[in-house]
Amino acid sequence: MKILPWNITTGCERLTLGCDNCPTYWEYLEDGRDYHPHAHPGRLREPLDNLEPSVYVVSPGSDLFHEAIRADFIEEVVDVMTLANWHHFEVIAKRAERLESVSNRYLTWPDNVMVGVAVEEAQYNWRIDCLRNVDCRRIVSFGPMTGPIGEVDLTGIEIAGAVVEYWGPQPREVDPAWIEDISRQCEEQGVIVGGEHWLCKETF
């Protein structure tokens, strides 16, 4: 399947150290573009107009669950993903508490969507607990890694993998032991281990 971006939201704000080398931020900065979060209702039909089954990465370099994005707009986005059931979608968020809250109040996630959180190091493992409280197919992106993850409960997670930073002005090195530890825990807990380019069609 072809992998496509669906830039239904653009822009974001720094949340953690993991955001410091965000390639989208540096691209916007170089081009002099506004990096504040924006929703783009005019792009809602993009997946519906594409009849070729594809994998859509939703809001790459942004966060669909940023506080600036209205809950009713997020609901419209999920409605489109439900209608466009010949595609697969991946939604990764760092704002896990809002993901949990909005999902449980307003959303019904279809099976053609993988919903996940990004976890850069052990202090953010709580995001996985938020994700576990959402009725969806669940994915965890460990990255861009800024430290070891430590022992983590992956109950209810379908697929997980490490993301090594290779972008930005100063990509940060990752200790191979951190990646090995994640892979070990995934294997021990029956979670599919994502490969080098795992945020793609193999997820499905």
Q: 108 lies in which domain range?
A: 2-203
When mean pLDDT is compared across 63-72, 112-121, 189-198, the lowest value belongs to 189-198
Q: What is the pLDDT of residue 151?
A: 96
The total of structural domains in the chain comes to 1
Q: For residue range 97-135, list pLDDT tens digits in order.
A: 999 999 999 999 999 999 999 999 999 999 999 999 999
Q: Name the nearest CA neighbour of 24 among 71, 69, 57.
A: 57
What is the pLDDT averaged over residues 61-85? 96
In percent, the amount of the chain with pLDDT more than 90 equals 67
Instruction: Please name the residues in contact with 180: beta carbons below 8 A apart, sequence gap of 6 or more.
Output: none
3-state secondary structure string, 19-43?
HCCCHHHHHHHHHCCCCCCEECHHH
Residue 197 has pLDDT above 50, yes or no: no
Strand pairing report for 54-58 and 159-162: unpaired
Q: For residue range 131-176, list pLDDT tens digits in order.
A: 999 999 999 999 788 889 999 999 999 999 887 766 666 777 778 8
List the CATH number of the domain containing 41: 3.80.30
